[in-house]
Structure 1
């Protein structure tokens, strides 16, 4: 794994916008605009390195599924902050019926510097973004700058194939609705959903776009409907389950949750059992089940324990995106558990490449490793100001 500097293409911004990255720039607090899509540098990997990382990702995916199984069997939903018995019941039912419910993709965030084993930082299993730039824009960048090279990137083909394989699980005779929140000012959620909708259409599915705010509730029939008052039988939503279950229509979601193909129900993609994987408590459960695993970091739910005195730790809220609420505690800092529920994970400072802190985003489609996206930040937390950089296999 190496970082290389390179001159960006003269028309890079217009090029990536045409390829779906409609947010190539990030506005900073000083009101300046700086690249989010950053092709002034790139990363290279060897083929054996990528093959080893693929094996790690698929092993981690299996370990996370085992941890989810443990949570359901031991009824440890409260450890995930799921305290509503009805929600816990529906999540458990969804887990037991997971073979009947489409589950398309997820993204592991990994600590890796090319020398030691990759370490799991977190699993974005419900609403992962940075998909368009990973699947599309960086592939076309490689074709422009390194024709004939290769890339860890089979995302597009695997997504289309996943929709084809799972089409039989979808309610027949109705389009799959693809929903994002209209409150997404940046446009990242919109383009992620639009891209996934495109892969579903290439798989032969009928689709319909809608915003979450335009999903209606028909009181007479007890069903969710779109703006044309059509019953929403299935819906891919880039909208966290913790929001969906707690907002105004959360009880209606639970009442009509399709955990068994019943008439009048709605099949949500990703399914409700993804709440087990998208929660940072999973990191602590995985460590509890397999302490000392070379691809895991020590993690606890009751406090930092001895991490405060030894390695330092990172306190992560159980739910959140873009690094929100994460705090970093160096070795020797007082062990101060926070009021909100957190996962306390060993501090593994992100690898430093020329002053840039890097995290690998390794994608899975269904149960298989499918590609890589790389983000850089200036500090130890990969936040909303992180930059996306392409990569090649050399």
Structure 2
């Protein structure tokens, strides 16, 4: 969220003022925090009586803390502040008692009142997350609120509120205006048993969640040249695809898919909410040995994984969420939070196809992907050479070259290391590249599981062997992948903790923590009667690219399966929610995250019920709802 800092914002945690009930309102000026002052993520968790209030000192944290201090109840944990407008009850943690909560759309005939929560939509001033404030005073033409994570200025002496918002009455309703031009207030939420004038949620037209396939007219010529073989990124793609092709089917050169603007809004919202949920779940796993044991990770690595999580500079750059979208819902299959692919195709290639062949339908929903990557790399503040490590693989090569463009545009110097040849030992077990440059910052195309396979094979569970600088004779043996990636002073993207977030063993935990999320499928470690009744997918917890997945219908008939190298891994069971069929092909939407936020979406299609690494990536466009329904 952007922040209207004062000329001299108060340091993080400074009490700005006091809300009714003696609740302190604090500064969230994160720029003022020194790493040594708050080195671990848990230090940012606000709790009272063992009840989690939120992340210090954000807007949702104040709203929950104010409710708890004044009334003894809280609303459920939410990924985004705007989600509060959808909540329909609060709960008293001490007794489990549930009380009704009603939402009133801005302009409703019931005005806000002291104790109500004012809710802002995502976008503008409150991009991505939305915002929430507590109403403390209501006048004839104004509303006063207390809030966190906005101005971070100490209130003037004697003033008991953060901000005053204009309110006007028109046509029997009450409208509250934000004091920022680009902030939009959705409405207010009141704990009351009286639903008069409350919001009645209307579902979007289910037809807006279909996916359509179209063909260009005229179709591109069979041998049309539209890529630049002199560009290494495009040259590697051409070699992999054996020509300037999108798939093995010539008809796909003129094909594109569309989704509605409403669908894109839902995908964006789901992606942002789910990322927050997975971060909450990852934190829960890090605190619980019994949960972490579910992930089939060497116990000797647990302390390192936890240190990686607690290092606040060690953040994700990229991730990809795989969705099934049908008229009856948008559901997440999994979160690929480690070495996610398809960025080059979505962020460059398919936009190039549209430009070359004049596909002017709607807009490209991944057009901003490259710029988002540049911004994310700029935020890392890398102060040396970033080594890009990859295998001798065509897809990894063009993916790495595309990422290098964004990294270097962010002002970061890079060296590419393809394979492990040329690595050499420096002092004290430090690893150097072929030119003698120490490797201290790494972005990799390899999944962390590749490094773990090396550990499992060579080092087993010997904790002394996991002291990597003592594992081999450096005089006779060259550095291995683990000697680079698991060295304590090397910062790796994606971070080691992504082993937890990307492992499908986290899916049952996320579902348990957020049972009311409309984006999550029922998932468990055991096959239950409920899962049998719905049909289910059996997935290895560390499988990749759709490998070793089996789908069973409600009669427990096997309807589809893939092979692979993960058949001996533990399994999770997920409610069967099939992909939509679009003119004979199953279509899966892939939402890309950059720095933890939605950055674009693409589509992958296949005649098979299970999407794999061989499934086709084809052009996707977003059109207005009206245009979508007319086609």
TM-score (structure 1 length as normaliser): 0.86
Residue 141 (structure 1) aligns with: 353
Greater displacement, 220-229 / 266-275: 220-229
Q: Map Cα deviations across residues 268-289 of structure 1 (whole Å, 9 max, x no partner).
A: 1111011111111111111121
Cα distance in 1 for partners of 2:309, 2:219 equals 46
Within-5 A mapping of 1:154-165? 154-165=368-379
- Match for 1:123 among 316, 332, 335? 335
Determine the C-alpha separation between the residues in 1 that align with 2:504 and 2:250.
26
Residue in structure 2 matching 1:311, options 523, 534, 542: 534
Match of 1:60 among 274, 277, 294: 274
Number of residue pairs matched by the alignment: 371
Q: In the alignment, which residue of structure 2 is the partner of 1:180?
A: 390
2:364 maps to 151
DSSP 3-state at the match of 1:164: helix
Cα distance, 1:229 vs structure 2 = 2.8
- How far residue 340 of structure 1 moved from its aligned partner, in angstroms, is 3.3
Asked whether the equivalents of residues 281 and 510 of structure 2 are also in contact (C-alpha less than 8 Å), the reply is: yes
Note if contact 2:335-2:502 (Cα within 8 Å) is conserved in structure 1: yes
- Runs (5+) with no aligned partner, structure 1: 28-32, 260-264
> Is the Cα contact below 8 Å between 2:431 and 2:438 reproduced in 1?
yes
Contact 2:222 2:250 in 1 (8 A): no
Q: Which residue of 2 aligns with 1:30?
A: none
TM-align CA RMSD: 2.6
**Number of the residue aligned with 1:15:** 226
Residue 447 of structure 2 corresponds to residue 237 of structure 1: no
Checking the alignment, whether the CA contact within 8 Å between 1:308 and 1:333 is kept in structure 2 is no
Cα pair distance change 1:111/1:323, threshold 3 Å? same
How do residues 87-236 of structure 1 correspond to structure 2 at under 5 angstroms?
87-97=301-311, 99-113=312-326, 115-144=327-356, 145-147=358-360, 149-153=362-366, 154-166=368-380, 168=381, 170=382, 172=383, 174-182=384-392, 184=393, 187-214=394-421, 216-218=423-425, 220-236=427-443
| Equivalent-residue separation in structure 2 for 1:386 and 1:334 (angstroms) | 24
The 3-state SS of whatever aligns with 1:239 is: coil
Aligned match of 2:263: 49
1:277 and 1:215 mapped to 2: Cα distance?
32
**Aligned residues of 2:605 and 2:617 also touching (Cα < 8 A):** yes
CA distance in 1, matches of 2:316, 2:438: 21
CA contact (8 A) 1:43 1:392 kept: yes
TM-aligned CA deviation for residue 307 of structure 1: 4.4
TM-score (norm 2): 0.55
Aligned mates of 2:485, 2:607 — CA distance in 1: 45
The verdict on how the C-alpha distance between 1:8 and 1:71 changes in structure 2, with shifts beyond 3 A counting, is farther
Asked if residue 348 in structure 1 is aligned to residue 555 in structure 2, the reply is no
Residue 122 of structure 1: CA displacement?
0.8
For 2:333 and 2:223, the matched residues in 1 are separated by 31
The structural deviation recorded for 1:378 is: 0.8
Q: 1:11 to 1:339 in 2, by over 3 A?
A: closer
Q: Is the 8 A contact 2:542 2:569 kept in 1?
A: no
- Bigger Rg, structure 1 or 2: 2
Give deviations 1:161-210, integer Å, cap 9, x for gaps. 111111x2x2x3x310111112x2xx111111111011101111111111
Following TM superposition, by how much is the alpha carbon of 1:39 offset from its aligned partner in structure 2, in angstroms? Answer: 3.4
Name the residue aligned to 1:262. none
- Sort the Cα spacing of 1:93 and 1:210 in 2 relative to 1 into closer, same or farther, 3 A: same
- SS of the residue corresponding to residue 309 of structure 1 reads helix
Q: By how many angstroms is 1:17 displaced?
A: 6.2
The structure richer in helix per residue is 1
Query: Within 5 A, what are the aligned runs for 1:71-90?
Result: 71-75=285-289, 76-82=291-297, 84-90=298-304
Which has the higher relative contact order, 1 or 2, with Cα contacts under 8 A spaced 6 or more apart?
A: 1
Tell me the distance in 2 between the aligned counterparts of 1:160 and 1:232.
22
What are the superposed Cα offsets for residues 45-93 of structure 1, whole Å, 9 maximum, x if unpaired?
Answer: 22232122211110011111111111111222211111x2221111111
- The within-5 A match list for 1:216-295 is 216-218=423-425, 220-247=427-454, 251=466, 252=468, 253=482, 257=486, 265-295=489-519
